[in-house]
Chain A
């Protein structure tokens, strides 16, 4: 098991509207024995806003973080937010892939006495770091309070599975499903696990955003999930905070809590829900804790296919 301290890029939303993710990440890191050490004076990654309207300044904004990390002697950076992860990863990759872009970014960085050689920093998502460095065997071993009986939908969101990052399969990633199973929970079928949560659309076109949010929530509910597990502050915000508004628009009444994967790991490790930021969500997540059973539920027999699914020729009377 890893006991090292990782250079850490928290991102703006960890500091403002997602204390639950920040608190649970720190609690879980402490319990599992690894450290997260913030890069000194990191700045915003620009989210999707900067890249979409002013490309070179956007790359330069992100590259400042990579340059600062490299100056501290880091060779990797762990990032808990999928959008920050994607932007840092994309900048590192594209500066190397497109030399003209790399040169221009470094020209801009030079104005601030900084320089970054692409490839110096390996950008890693927190969930990937926990799964690969800590390992599922360790998680299983350390799960004092396995999540027996919990049915959880692993929601990856869009950015972590895309080809630019290639952490897992782009259409059907499984790494978090396996992690949830290792913790004793049941990972439910979830076809829309990489469907986008809508990002900034809640602010720009509610019609577009609520339809996307509703689709994801409905798909998770249809799969029988007690809760959705996320790895990104934006996904958590959209699916949790706007769930009631999406319900209103579509006449549905879903109440599916949306948790961070670190909160779920924390529960399995036996940490207190209060220390994991429970209570900050809009859709109450405390019900989840009471659903955890003492022993593994009996294996369910797969449901029989309905007659209509495989029409067979009828026998003559």
Chain B
């Protein structure tokens, strides 16, 4: 099925994923779904998603919760008899869903976004800030539970309240800006 810009959904997924051409070898054996620890929560197993990609059902694929339930454990990739980089394809689908504004699982996307925000700004992650900012903005109902947990972590000296930062944040930000601009050019072409 041809999509808007003349290429199929399958082609675009393959193009965007290092090693993605192996997707053409999918046997539909289902080892991926059977190995997936969070499979029961997915609306389609990875095998199912690959069939939908092949059929060009873009809406169905990009609005699926499947990539957002991926825990990045690579169990599917380890067991795939065709060595398809399944986890990396899940990452491609997340990226495509974000750019199409089509994702069905906003929590996961917001969590990643908040995490990345701290890293881009300071070069280090910041658990206390991540937890408060993410839950405050997206799950205010969790704040009491979270607070109790935070106290437990602090009592055990396991929660830094001040963010750490690298020295050369300027260098890091230049690198990331350049990487983003190369990635954006790739998406337009």
Contacts and interface: CB of A to CB of B under 8 A. Distances in A.
B160 interface: yes
Contacts of B16: 55
B180 A54 contact: yes
Nearest to A103: B182
Contacts of B109: 53
Interface string B54-89: 000000000000011111111101110001000000
B174 A162 contact: no
Interface in A34-48: 41-44, 46-48
Contact of B178 (A16, A111, A162, A196): A111
A159 B175 contact: no
Contacts of A109: 175
B125 interface: yes
Contact of B172 (A43, A54, A200, A280): A43
Contact of A280 (B69, B125, B157): B157
Contact of B112 (A16, A53, A64, A113): A53
B178 A164 contact: no
Contacts of B91: 51-53, 55
B72 A52 contact: yes
Nearest to B78: A170
A290 interface: no
A53 B116 contact: yes
A243 to B, nearest CB: 12
A53 B113 contact: yes
A114 interface: yes
Contacts of B73: 158-159, 162, 195-196, 199
Interface in B98-130: 98, 105, 107-109, 111-113, 115-116, 119, 123-128
Most A CB within 10 A of own CB, among B98, B109, B123, B131: B123
Nearest to A53: B112
Interface residues of B, number: 68
Interface stretch (B25-33, B45-53, B148-156): B148-156
Contacts of A12: 124-126, 164
A57 interface: yes
A41 B126 CA distance: 16
Interface string B151-189: 011001111100010111001101111111011001000
Nearest to B178: A111
A204 B111 contact: yes
B114 to A, nearest CB: 9
Contact of B156 (A51, A111, A282): A282
A47 B119 CA distance: 10
Nearest to B39: A208
Contact of B75 (A56, A114, A158): A158
A54 B156 CA distance: 35
A112 B175 contact: yes
Contact of A47 (B108, B123, B125, B160): B125
B186 to A, nearest CB: 8
A52 B69 contact: no
A49 B111 contact: yes
B119 A241 contact: no
A272 interface: no
A286 interface: no
A280 B67 CA distance: 34
Given A94-B18, A114-B175, A280-B157, A104 B182 contact: yes
A208 B38 contact: yes
Contact of B158 (A19, A98, A110, A211): A19
B74 A164 contact: yes
A46 B124 CA distance: 9
A281 B176 CA distance: 36
Given A50-B119, A111-B175, A196-B75, A208 B112 contact: no
A60 B167 CA distance: 17
A205 B74 contact: no
B124 A196 contact: no
Nearest to A161: B78
A273 B126 CA distance: 28
A56 B88 CA distance: 12
B115 A162 contact: no
A94 B125 CA distance: 24
Given A47-B125, A53-B95, A56-B182, 6 more contacts: A43-B124, A52-B112, A57-B179, A111-B177, A112-B171, A196-B37
7 contacts: A55-B91, A61-B176, A64-B172, A112-B168, A159-B74, A162-B75, A282-B156
